[in-house]
């Protein structure tokens, strides 16, 4: 609908400038951070005044200025990586094999290599700053016969390798703890207050993670330290001083001064990187106000109703939904623009576009929950997945025009579960491979009839795909599974109950096959988290839609909201039933284990609880506002009965 330049306006005008501003602040904060590091690395309790004077002279030296320039380059590179790898939907690995695949991805390999190089640069700057025995890589030593020779300074080498190891560990932990995940705070604060509040956590995480990394590095260097020493000596034609104590020994690694300088250098390295990451998160998630309608055609693509249907970038859609939730609560003038009619014509285009996209999000989540619950109920467990795949927007195949069709599921679509709410894969034919990770094989004769009806090209009600009648027997769990090879070949598959199978010797799987099978077993808690990984968008859609409906009771002078009120209530009630069914699963209602100290944002682990609370609050917000007027709304008998519970505050 819009050109590529129009779709990328937000990246050029907003995202890039916000990233540049966060990097600029990180560079400005680098000077006081470096000064503190110089004082901590050179401080002496016996000579405090002399230490301060030495630190001041060091900060004004040429070597310190050159080191500061290198550190600025590292900060800018870290900021670029943050901009390149950030995501608003976390990539949750639901099995150990999936996590291993993320760690071994070529893109992650490049990321780890860059972090190792930057870690070496930071460690070299730390060695120059600390000075003394750490300052140079080689020095002149005397042989046994008295002749001078160039020997390797192992203290300098161990510091450089520590920087590379800390950088590599930081890269791996970024994947494990989803450090590239950017979450949005519920409470809106100024950037300064957010940064001030997060500063103690950054200091604590830097010091703690540096301690763990140095501990692991010492163990690795104790066993494998001779390899880099021999390689450096051979490459640079250096010698090992036989009179010096080697550091890859117990006596060499028990040097308290060495351990302290390793830890303080690693803390400085991680602190500068974490500060850059935290500033990027604060700037990138700042609320943005989109115009509701524009007077100029060339600016129409910047309106919130158009932005909500954009494909990329995903941060644009999230900020638009956040702005929708904020305007629906705190901006009466912008709400009037949402309820306004177009001139000429008198059509509520703004309200239709916004409500249709919000209902589309909720319908997609309902279909994913139904498919997931059906798969778990029939097969015992769902297929493993990772939510880091490419995502598409729901505007690609939006629902049909008209308020009556807002709740009808897409007949030819199969949702990627639990990938982004904006993703879906088109089924090409009856034998097309399914890309939905939680979707069972529809070609199988034992596949769920409910899921077949969910994806069948027929018109159906919002309750299509679920058992509503008490006279219909519920399906029991499947006790067997079949291969689709016979169906592909065209031969029918005999029923296990009617055709007796000959006795066959059970072949024991190999050790490797059993190992891979165990690693592929899906983690139930992770699968539930992945299913709701993008639920922040649904939370904002629920809040925005419910607040707009509440405000329409007194502000909607044209009655544009009343035409879609039945669809809104039905959509919310269907979603609530699907969420309630999901929380009846054993693993869904359990609270996640509190994660260790890390800069990774783990708020996505509790999104399903926030969604359930927001959904119930949204329905209560509407029922408390309209009251008995809702009895005149056209709803099914089941929906009317469930809505009556909310009117009587029994839910």
Report for 216-220, 292-296, 598-602: range of highest mean pLDDT: 216-220
Q: Given the structure tokens 């029991």, which residue do they identify?
A: 476
pLDDT at residue 73 tops 90:
yes
Q: How buried is 510 (Cβ within 10 angstroms: 0-12 exposed, 13-18 middle, 19+ buried)?
A: exposed
pLDDT at residue 501 tops 70:
no
Give pTM, 2 decimals. 0.79
Q: Which two tokens stand for residue 228?
A: 């880099």
Q: Is the peptide bond before 490 cis (omega within 30 degrees of 0)?
A: no
Give CA separation, 511 vs 259, 384, 515, in Å.
43, 21, 6
- 605-638 residue pLDDT tens: 999 999 999 999 999 999 999 999 998 999 999 9
| 3-class DSSP state of 643 | helix
Secondary structure of 463-487 in the HEC alphabet? Answer: CCCCCCCCCCCCCCCCCCCCCCHHH
pLDDT score for 593: 66
Secondary structure of 405-420 in the HEC alphabet? Answer: HCCCCCCCEEECCCCC
pLDDT at residue 505 tops 80:
no
Secondary structure of 164-226 in the HEC alphabet? Answer: HHHHHHHHHHHHHCCCCECCCCCCCCCHHHHHHHHHHHHHHHHHHHHHHHHHHHHHHHHHHCH
Cα separation, 469 vs 550, whole angstroms: 33
First-residue to last-residue Cα distance in the chain: 43
Cα separation, 538 vs 576, whole angstroms: 12
Average pLDDT value for the chain = 80
Tell me the sheet residues that pair with 370: none
pLDDT score for 381: 53
If one compares 56 and 434, the residue with the highest pLDDT of the two is 56
| 3-class DSSP state of 425 | strand
Residues 6 or more apart whose CB falls under 8 angstroms from that of 26 comprise 75, 78, 79, 272, 275, 276, 279
pLDDT score for 25: 97
pLDDT class of 58 with cuts at 50, 70, 90: confident
Q: Given the structure tokens 């009839």, which residue do they identify?
A: 449
Q: Which two tokens stand for residue 269?
A: 């390295």
pLDDT class of 330 with cuts at 50, 70, 90: very high
pLDDT score for 291: 92
Angle in degrees, 0-180, between the axes of helices 256-284 and 154-176, rounded to the nearest 10: 40
pLDDT at residue 415 tops 60:
no
pLDDT at residue 384 tops 60:
no
pLDDT class of 570 with cuts at 50, 70, 90: very high
pLDDT score for 242: 84
Cα separation, 149 vs 142, whole angstroms: 6
Pick from 87, 90, 84: which is nearest to 419 by CA?
90
Domain edges within the chain: 9-285, 297-379+521-648
Tell me the sheet residues that pair with 424: 415
CB-CB neighbours of 301 under 10 Å: 18
Which helix (H) or strand (E) segment holds residue 424: the answer is strand 424-426
What would the mean pLDDT of 364-383 be, rounded to a whole number? 80
Cα separation, 322 vs 498, whole angstroms: 57
Q: Given the structure tokens 């500068």, which residue do they identify?
A: 272
Sequence length of the chain is 651
Range from 43-47, 125-129, 227-231, 549-553 carrying the lowest mean pLDDT? 43-47
pLDDT score for 506: 52
Cα separation, 372 vs 524, whole angstroms: 12
pLDDT score for 487: 41
Angle in degrees, 0-180, between the axes of helices 607-626 and 637-647, rounded to the nearest 10: 90
Tell me the sheet residues that pair with 139: 151
CB-CB neighbours of 461 under 10 Å: 14
pLDDT at residue 524 tops 80:
no
Q: Is the peptide bond before 313 cis (omega within 30 degrees of 0)?
A: yes
If one compares 421 and 302, the residue with the highest pLDDT of the two is 302
8 A C-beta contact, residue 389 and residue 425 = no
Cα separation, 164 vs 38, whole angstroms: 21
Instruction: DSSP letter for 149, please.
Output: E
8 A C-beta contact, residue 354 and residue 66 = no
pLDDT at residue 380 tops 80:
no
Which helix (H) or strand (E) segment holds residue 548: the answer is helix 535-555
Cα separation, 186 vs 182, whole angstroms: 13
- 342-367 residue pLDDT tens: 877 788 999 999 999 999 999 999 99
Pick from 592, 611, 612, 587: which is nearest to 535 by CA?
611
| 3-class DSSP state of 426 | strand
pLDDT score for 188: 85
Secondary structure of 258-275 in the HEC alphabet? Answer: HHHHHHHHHHHHHHHHHH
pLDDT class of 521 with cuts at 50, 70, 90: low
Instruction: DSSP letter for 631, please.
Output: G
pLDDT class of 379 with cuts at 50, 70, 90: low
Cα separation, 422 vs 460, whole angstroms: 22
Longest dimension (CA), the chain: 105
What would the mean pLDDT of 94-120 be, rounded to a whole number? 94
Give CA separation, 274 vs 28, 176, 205, 596, in Å.
15, 16, 9, 16
- Residues of the chain above pLDDT 70, percent: 76
pLDDT class of 298 with cuts at 50, 70, 90: confident
pLDDT score for 54: 86
Q: Which two tokens stand for residue 624?
A: 């408390």
| 3-class DSSP state of 447 | coil
């Amino acid at each position: 609908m819009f050109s590529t330049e129009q779709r990328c306006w937000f990246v050029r005008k907003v995202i890039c400038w916000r990233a540049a501003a966060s990097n600029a602040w990180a560079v400005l904060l680098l000077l006081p951070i470096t000064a503190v590091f110089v004082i901590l690395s050179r401080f002496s309790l016996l000579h405090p005044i002399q230490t301060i004077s030495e630190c001041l002279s060091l900060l004004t030296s040429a070597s310190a200025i050159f080191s500061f320039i290198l550190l600025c380059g590292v900060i800018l590179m870290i900021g670029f990586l943050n901009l390149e790898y950030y995501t608003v939907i976390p990539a949750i690995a639901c099995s150990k094999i999936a996590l291993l695949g993320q760690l071994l991805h070529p893109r992650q390999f490049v990321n780890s290599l860059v972090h190792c190089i930057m870690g070496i640069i930071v460690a070299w700057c730390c060695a120059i700053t600390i000075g003394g025995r750490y300052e140079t890589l080689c020095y002149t030593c005397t042989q046994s016969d008295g002749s001078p020779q160039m020997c390797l300074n192992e203290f300098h080498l161990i510091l450089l390798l520590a920087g590379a190891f800390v950088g590599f560990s930081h890269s791996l932990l970024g994947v494990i703890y989803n450090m590239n995940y950017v979450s949005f705070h519920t409470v809106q604060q100024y950037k300064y207050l957010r940064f001030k509040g997060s500063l103690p956590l950054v200091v604590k995480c830097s010091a703690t993670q540096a301690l763990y990394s140095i501990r692991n590095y010492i163990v690795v260097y104790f066993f494998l330290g001779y390899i880099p020493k021999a390689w450096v000596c051979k490459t640079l034609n250096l010698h090992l001083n036989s009179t010096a104590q080697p550091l890859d020994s117990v006596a060499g690694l028990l040097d308290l001064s060495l351990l302290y300088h390793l830890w303080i250098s690693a803390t400085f390295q991680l602190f500068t990187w974490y500060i850059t990451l935290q500033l990027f998160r604060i700037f990138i998630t700042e609320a943005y106000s989109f115009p509701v309608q524009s007077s100029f055609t060339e600016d129409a693509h910047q309106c919130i109703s158009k932005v909500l249907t954009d494909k990329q970038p995903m941060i644009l859609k999230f900020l638009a939904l956040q702005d929708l939730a904020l305007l629906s609560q705190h901006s009466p003038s912008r709400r009037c623009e949402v309820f306004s009619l177009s001139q000429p014509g008198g059509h509520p285009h703004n309200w239709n576009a916004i409500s249709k996209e919000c209902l589309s999000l909720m319908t997609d989540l309902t279909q994913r929950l139904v498919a997931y619950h059906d798969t778990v109920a029939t097969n015992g467990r769902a297929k493993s997945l990772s939510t880091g795949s490419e995502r598409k927007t729901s505007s690609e195949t939006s629902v049909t025009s008209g308020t009556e069709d807002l709740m009808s599921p897409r007949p030819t679509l199969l949702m990627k579960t639990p990938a982004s709410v904006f993703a879906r894969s088109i089924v090409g034919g009856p034998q097309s491979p399914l890309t939905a990770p939680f979707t069972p094989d529809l070609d199988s004769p034992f596949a769920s009839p409910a899921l077949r009806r969910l994806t069948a090209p027929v018109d159906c009600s919002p309750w299509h795909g679920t058992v509503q009648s008490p006279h219909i027997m519920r399906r029991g769990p499947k006790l067997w599974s079949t291969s689709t090879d016979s169906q592909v070949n065209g031969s029918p598959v005999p029923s296990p109950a009617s055709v007796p199978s000959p006795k066959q010797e059970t072949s024991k799987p190999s050790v490797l096959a059993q190992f891979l099978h165990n690693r592929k077993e899906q983690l139930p808690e992770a699968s539930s988290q992945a299913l709701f990984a993008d639920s922040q968008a649904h939370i904002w859609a629920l809040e925005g839609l419910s607040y707009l409906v509440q405000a329409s009771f007194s502000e909607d002078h044209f009655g544009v909201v009343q035409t879609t009120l039945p669809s809104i209530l039905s959509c919310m009630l269907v979603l609530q039933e699907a969420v309630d069914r999901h929380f009846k699963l054993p693993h869904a209602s359990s609270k996640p284990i509190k994660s260790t100290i890390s800069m990774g944002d783990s708020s996505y682990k509790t999104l399903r609880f926030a969604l359930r609370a927001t959904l119930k609050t949204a329905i209560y917000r509407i029922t408390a506002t309209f009251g008995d007027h809702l009895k005149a709304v056209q709803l099914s008998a089941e929906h009317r009965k469930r809505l009556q519970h909310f009117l009587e505050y029994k839910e």
